[in-house]
Amino acid sequence: MRFLGFLLKRVVGIAAVMIGVSVITFAISHVIPADPVAAALGDHATDAQIAQFRTEYHLDRPLPEQYLIYATGILHGDLGKSIRTRRSVADDLADSFPATLELSFAALLISIVLGVPAGVWSAVSRGRVPDYVVRLLSLAGGSLPVFWLGLIVIGLFYYQLGWFPGGGRLDTFVPPPPTRTGLYVVDSILAGDFEALRSSLVHLVLPAVTLGYFSTAVVARMTRSSMLDVLSQDYMRTARAKGLAERLVIFRHGLRNALIPTVTIIGLTFGSLLSGAVLTETIFSWPGLGRYATASAVSLDFPAVLGVTLLAAIVYPVANLAVDIAYYWLDPRIQHG
């Protein structure tokens, strides 16, 4: 019951965050000193077209009324109509979000699969060559701009070596699998389309590595730090004194306890992966939310910007919720405390 109560509180909290975010974003997007009409209709629009546009998007109403119209729409699942694409924002998000989610999951997977072992290895080899190598690579991961890294990766592995494709989600002449989730890897498995599966996997590699390098570095450093802390604990000495194999001592007693802060970082990293995807998506022609958000912001498409912001406002707390739930599994004190 305690878990359900905790869950309920978090869901209510997420709803409150959503309301706050929608009010703030709406206010900001409507008070910036720029005219979305000029952005949408361009340089040649007539006065009549401008008036029609303002009516269509309720821009001729007072700001509080505009917000009420917008909020009522949200309650009915209507995020409004994009000024730039002239489509429903919900449809636009449904088109672009799965691509970003797939890329972010792949980057997160890389961060965990590479970052956690690298951190452990670095900690147990403290002061020796593996430690220096991991720390150096982590430092680079935290310092290299994604845009630069992306261009280098694409230049080397696509242009020079030809090992991986240069961009997009599939090979030029491979049709996408029938849409079930929007995640091509999942959809191609569901459809039994192994050509699309192969193609979508190889297309994920370079953007996921580029996007995931920074978070891999963060995860590795956090794991190293917490492992060093754990390794000096009494219970580790006790475990060794009991005659347990070093592998069991490190992974069962050490890593399990060191993972709590790492999981926290992974949750936070997931949110930053979604926002960091903007540049990666541009470089790799990845049709995701980041590119949609950028194009919307540049063209003052405030319904789209609001939609993206609300989506991000859900993703962050949901990722944190997932982290909190993971604590239950990792730390019995939280379950019983």
Partner 1 sequence: MSFGRTSVLLFIALLIAAACTPAAAPGASTQPSPSAGGAASTLVWYADTSDLISFDPAVAYEFTGVLLAHNAYETLVKFEGADLSTIKPALAQSWDIKDSGSQWDVTFKLRSGAKFASGNAITADDVVYSFQRVLKLNKSPAFLFTDIAQLKDSSIKATDPSTVVISLPKTASPQGFLAVLTFTIGSVVDSKDVKARETGGDSGSGYLLDHSSGSGAFVIDHWTKNSEVQLKANPQYGGSPKPALGGVLVKHVPESTNQQFALEKGDADIARNLGAQQIAALQGKPGVVTTTGNSLQLVYVGMNVTVKPLDNVNVREALRTAIDYDGIVKDLFKGGAKKVQDIVPAGLAGYNESTPFQADVNKAKSLLQQAGQTAVTLELLVPTGPAPGGVAWADLAAKLQSDWKNIGVTVNIKQTTQAELLGTYRAQKGQLVMILWGPDFPDPDANVGPFTDYAAKSIAFRNGWDDKTIAAKGRDAALITDTAKRSAAYKDITDYVLHNGPYAVLYQPTEPFGLRSNVKGFAWSPMDWTDFAAISK
User: Beta partners for 81?
Assistant: 88
Q: Does residue 169 interact with partner 1 by CB under 8 A? A: yes
Residue among 25, 29, 96, 262 that touches partner 1 (CB under 8 A)? 96
Residue among 26, 97, 121, 164 that touches partner 1 (CB under 8 A)? 97
Q: What is the DSSP string of 118-157?
A: HHHHHHHTTTSHHHHHHHHHHHHHHHS-HHHHHHHHHIII
Q: Does residue 104 interact with partner 1 by CB under 8 A? A: no
Q: Which of residues 1-30 bind partner 1 (CB under 8 A)?
A: 1-3
Nearer to partner 1 by Cβ, of 85 and 275: the residue is: 85
Nearer to partner 1 by Cβ, of 123 and 315: the residue is: 315
Nearer to partner 1 by Cβ, of 172 and 232: the residue is: 172
Q: Does residue 47 interact with partner 1 by CB under 8 A? A: yes
Residue among 17, 18, 45, 191 that touches partner 1 (CB under 8 A)? 45
Stretch that binds partner 1, among 67-75, 123-131, 176-184, 258-266 (CB under 8 A): 176-184
Find tokens 């956690």 and name the residue.
116
**CA-closest candidate to residue 147, choices 294, 296, 312:** 294
Stretch that binds partner 1, among 111-119, 236-244, 247-255, 283-291 (CB under 8 A): 283-291
C-alpha distances in angstroms, 167 versus 102, 123, 216? 15, 36, 22
**Residue 165 to residue 161: CA distance in whole angstroms:** 10
Q: Which of residues 113-132 bind partner 1 (CB under 8 A)?
A: none
**Closest CB 165 distance from partner 1, rounded Å:** 8
Stretch that binds partner 1, among 59-67, 90-98, 115-123, 255-263 (CB under 8 A): 90-98
Q: Take residue 244 and report the two structure tokens written for it.
A: 């347990």
**Closest CB 299 distance from partner 1, rounded Å:** 6
Contact 80, 307 (CB under 8 A): yes
**Residue 254 to residue 191: CA distance in whole angstroms:** 42
**Residue 187 to residue 178: CA distance in whole angstroms:** 7
Stretch that binds partner 1, among 44-52, 54-62, 121-129, 198-206 (CB under 8 A): 44-52
Residue among 59, 89, 90, 118 that touches partner 1 (CB under 8 A)? 90
Contact 296, 82 (CB under 8 A): yes
User: Beta partners for 88?
Assistant: 81
**Closest CB 234 distance from partner 1, rounded Å:** 26
Nearer to partner 1 by Cβ, of 225 and 294: the residue is: 294
Neighbours of 19 (CB within 10 A): 12
Find tokens 């990792």 and name the residue.
330
**Closest CB 166 distance from partner 1, rounded Å:** 6
Find tokens 């000096």 and name the residue.
232
**CA-closest candidate to residue 102, choices 210, 207, 195:** 207
Q: Does residue 333 interact with partner 1 by CB under 8 A? A: no
Residue among 14, 39, 69, 74 that touches partner 1 (CB under 8 A)? 39
Q: Does residue 181 interact with partner 1 by CB under 8 A? A: yes
